[in-house]
C-alpha cells in the first residue's frame, strides 16, 4: 500500500514519461494512451508483488522499454535520475520494505515446511528407499506445490471461494494419487507402469492450479496466463542454478568430511537431497518474484540462442530420415526423448512469444521460429506414425495411449501455431492471435494429465 507521497511521486514520473512520448508521438506514431494503460497495469502488478511504487515505476519502464522504442529511449535518457530516486532518496514510509521483508520471511518459512514435509512419511515407517519409492514418486508434487500455492494465495490475497477450489484440487489429487492399489509394475501390460504415469502427469495437472493462484484473479486474461508462462521459465532457470550450487556445496562437504574419515553420503541421500529439492522450489519462486526486474530477460536470451540450434538439429534429423529411409523405433526411452524434445521446442516458442513486441513487424528471427515449429510438427507426425504402428502391431497399453494423447495435443498446438505464425509473416494476421492461442491452450495439457491420473488406473486393469 503506497503513501500519498509515493503516489504523487509516481504520478509525476508518469507525467514526465507521457510528456516525453507526447513530444515524439508524431514522429513514431505511437498511441500514448494505450501505452500508459499498459504502464499503469505493470505498476499495479509490481506493487501487488511487494515492490515500492517508485521501484515499480522503474521496473515497469524497463519492461516497457523491452517492448517500445520510445520507452527504451526515455529509460536510457533518464536512467541516472531514476536510479538516484530509487537508491538515494529514501521512501517516506518503511511499509514497502517491511512488506518485502515479510514476504521473504513467509517464503523461507514455507520452504522449511516443504523441506520437512518430505520427511513426515518416515514417521509412519515409509522410508525414502526402493520399496517405498513409488509412494514418494506419486506424491512428490504434493509435498511442495500446495505450499507454493499457499504462498501465492497469501501474496495475491485471493478470495475465499478461489482458495476453496484450490484446496479441493489438491485434496482430490492426494486421494487419486494414493487410492488405487499401485504395485511395482502394477499393470497387466509388461513393461508398463501406471504408477510411473501418475507420478509424471500429476505435477503437470497441479501446475495449472499453481498458475491460477499465481495469476491472482488474472487467469482469465491473456496477460495473466502469459505472466505465469514467464514465471515458469524463470523458476526453472533459478532452480537449476540453485541445484548446481547445491551440487558444488555437496562436493566440498564430501571432500572435507572425508578428510577426517567421516562418510556423510547417508546424510546426503536421506536429508540434504530430498529436503533441499523441496525447499528450493519455494525459494526459487520467491527469488523470481523478488528479482523479476533482473532475471526476467534470461529466458528470452536463451530462447534467442537455442531456437536456431534446435531448428538446425530438427532439419538435419528430418533430412537424414529421408536420405536413409529408416523408420523411427519408438521404444520407451526413445519415446520419452521425442516428447521431451517437442516440449523444449514448445517452450522455446512460448518464450519467444512472451518476449516479443506484438506490434513489431516480422523479422529474421520470426522466420527461424517458423522453421523450428514446422520442423517440430513434422517430427511429431513421424513419432505419431510410429506410435500408431506399434499400437496396430501390439495393441493398446498405458504408455502408448499416454504418448499418443500427448503427441496429438502437441500436434494440434504446433499445427495451429504454424498457421498463425505464417499468417503473421505474410501480413495476413496479428502476432497477438498467436499469443492468445498459446495461453488459451494451456489447460489442455493439464486436462490430459488429469485424465491419465484419474482414468488410466481403472481402464487398464489396475483395479
DSSP per-residue letters across 160-208: HHHHHHHHHHHHHHHHHHHSS---TT-SSSTT--HHHHHHHHHHHHHHH
Q: Exposed e or buried b for every residue in 441-450, given b needs 16+ CB within 10 A? A: bbbebbebbb
Cell numbers linked to 433: 492471435
**Separation between Cα atoms, residue 421 and residue 370, nearest integer Å:** 7
Burial class of residue 220 in the structure, from the number of CB atoms within 10 Å of its CB (0-12 exposed, 13-18 middle, 19+ buried): exposed
- Residue ranges of domains in the chain: 4-87, 97-180+195-294, 297-429
Q: How confident is the model at residue 190 (pLDDT cuts 50, 70, 90)?
A: very low
Given the C-alpha cell 495393441, which residue does it identify? 395
User: Which range is least confidently modeled, 17-26, 174-183, 432-441?
Assistant: 17-26
**Separation between Cα atoms, residue 44 and residue 34, nearest integer Å:** 16
**Separation between Cα atoms, residue 207 and residue 210, nearest integer Å:** 5
**Separation between Cα atoms, residue 131 and residue 184, nearest integer Å:** 9
**Separation between Cα atoms, residue 385 and residue 376, nearest integer Å:** 14
Q: What's the predicted TM-score (pTM) here? A: 0.72
Is residue 275 within 8 A of residue 99, CB to CB? The reply is no
What confidence tens digit (pLDDT) does each residue in 385-399 have? 878 877 887 788 888
Cell numbers linked to 126: 515409509
Highest mean pLDDT among 25-29, 56-60, 80-84, 448-452: 448-452
Is the per-residue pLDDT at 87 higher than 50?
Answer: no
The residues, any chain, with a CB within 8 Å of residue 64's CB and separated by 6 or more, are 35, 38, 39, 42, 71, 72, 75
**Separation between Cα atoms, residue 7 and residue 5, nearest integer Å:** 5
Give φ, ψ of 325 to 5 degrees: 70, 15
Mean pLDDT of 117-130: 83
Query: Considering only CA atoms, which of 104, 12, 106 is closest in space to residue 53?
Result: 12
Q: How confident is the model at residue 1 (pLDDT cuts 50, 70, 90)?
A: very low
Residue 412: predicted pLDDT: 94
**Separation between Cα atoms, residue 67 and residue 306, nearest integer Å:** 21
**Separation between Cα atoms, residue 444 and residue 461, nearest integer Å:** 25
Q: Which residue has the higher pLDDT, 362 or 166?
A: 166
What confidence tens digit (pLDDT) does each residue in 222-250 have? 888 888 988 898 898 889 888 888 888 78
Opening angle at CA 344, ends 235 and 169, nearest 5: 55
User: Which range is least confidently modeled, 64-73, 122-131, 238-247, 342-351?
Assistant: 64-73
Query: Considering only CA atoms, which of 29, 89, 25 is closest in space to residue 57?
Result: 89
Q: What percent of the chain has pLDDT over 90?
A: 24
Q: How confident is the model at residue 29 (pLDDT cuts 50, 70, 90)?
A: very low
Residue 272: predicted pLDDT: 87
Residue 86: predicted pLDDT: 44
Q: What is residue 243's three-state secondary structure?
A: helix
Cell numbers linked to 191: 513393461
Cell numbers linked to 404: 499418443
Q: What is residue 50's three-state secondary structure?
A: coil
Is residue 155 within 8 A of residue 103, CB to CB? The reply is yes
Residue 84: predicted pLDDT: 43
Integer distance in angstroms from the first to the last C-alpha of the chain?
A: 54
Amino acid at each position: 500500500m503506497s503513501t500519498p507521497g509515493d503516489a504523487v511521486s509516481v504520478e509525476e514520473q508518469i507525467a514526465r514519461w507521457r510528456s516525453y512520448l507526447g513530444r515524439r508521438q508524431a514522429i513514431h506514431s505511437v498511441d500514448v494512451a494505450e501505452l500508459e494503460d499498459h504502464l499503469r497495469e505493470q505498476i499495479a502488478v509490481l506493487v501487488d508483488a511487494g515492490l515500492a511504487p517508485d521501484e515499480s515505476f522503474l521496473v515497469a519502464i524497463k519492461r516497457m522499454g523491452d517492448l517500445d522504442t520510445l520507452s527504451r529511449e526515455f529509460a536510457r535518457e533518464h536512467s541516472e535520475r531514476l536510479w538516484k530516486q530509487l537508491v538515494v532518496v529514501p521512501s517516506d514510509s518503511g511499509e514497502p520494505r517491511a512488506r518485502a521483508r515479510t514476504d521473504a520471511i513467509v517464503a523461507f518459512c514455507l520452504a522449511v515446511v516443504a523441506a520437512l514435509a518430505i520427511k513426515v512419511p518416515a514417521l509412519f515407517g515409509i522410508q525414502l528407499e526402493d520399496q517405498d519409492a513409488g509412494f514418494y514418486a506419486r506424491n512428490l508434487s504434493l509435498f511442495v506445490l500446495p505450499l507454493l500455492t499457499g504462498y501465492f494465495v497469501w501474496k495475491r490475497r485471493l478470495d475465499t471461494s478461489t482458495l476453496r477450489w484450490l484446496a479441493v484440487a489438491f485434496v482430490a489429487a492426494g486421494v487419486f494419487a494414493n487410492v488405487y492399489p499401485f504395485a511395482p509394475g502394477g499393470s497387466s501390460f509388461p513393461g508398463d507402469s501406471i504408477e510411473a504415469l501418475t507420478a509424471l502427469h500429476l505435477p503437470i495437472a497441479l501446475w495449472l492450479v499453481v498458475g491460477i493462484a499465481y495469476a491472482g484473479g488474472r487467469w482469465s486474461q491473456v496477460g495473466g496466463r502469459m505472466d505465469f508462462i514467464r514465471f515458469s521459465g524463470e523458476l526453472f532457470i533459478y532452480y537449476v542454478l540453485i541445484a548446481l550450487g547445491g551440487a558444488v556445496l555437496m562436493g566440498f562437504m564430501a571432500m572435507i568430511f572425508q578428510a577426517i574419515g567421516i562418510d556423510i553420503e547417508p546424510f546426503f541421500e536421506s536429508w540434504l537431497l530430498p529436503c533441499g529439492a523441496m525447499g528450493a522450489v519455494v525459494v526459487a519462486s520467491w527469488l523470481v518474484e523478488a528479482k523479476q526486474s533482473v532475471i526476467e530477460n534470461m529466458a528470452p536470451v536463451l530462447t534467442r540462442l537455442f531456437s536456431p540450434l534446435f531448428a538446425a538439429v530438427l532439419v538435419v534429423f528430418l533430412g537424414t530420415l529421408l536420405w536413409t529411409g529408416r523408420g523411427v523405433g519408438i521404444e520407451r526411452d526413445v519415446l520419452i526423448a521425442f516428447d521431451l524434445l517437442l516440449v523444449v521446442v514448445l517452450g522455446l516458442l512460448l518464450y519467444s512469444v512472451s518476449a516479443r513486441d506484438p506490434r513489431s513487424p516480422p523479422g529474421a528471427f520470426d522466420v527461424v521460429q517458423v522453421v523450428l515449429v514446422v520442423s517440430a510438427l513434422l517430427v511429431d507426425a513421424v513419432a505419431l506414425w510410429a506410435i500408431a504402428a506399434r499400437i496396430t502391431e501390439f495393441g493398446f497399453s498405458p504408455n502408448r495411449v499416454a504418448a499418443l494423447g500427448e503427441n496429438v495435443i502437441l500436434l494440434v498446438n504446433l499445427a495451429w501455431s504454424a498457421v498463425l505464425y505464417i499468417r503473421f509473416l505474410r501480413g495476413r494476421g496479428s502476432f497477438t492471435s498467436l499469443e492468445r492461442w498459446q495461453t488459451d491452450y494451456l489447460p489442455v495439457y493439464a486436462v490430459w494429465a488429469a485424465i491419465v491420473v484419474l482414468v488410466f488406473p481403472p481402464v487398464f486393469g489396475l483395479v
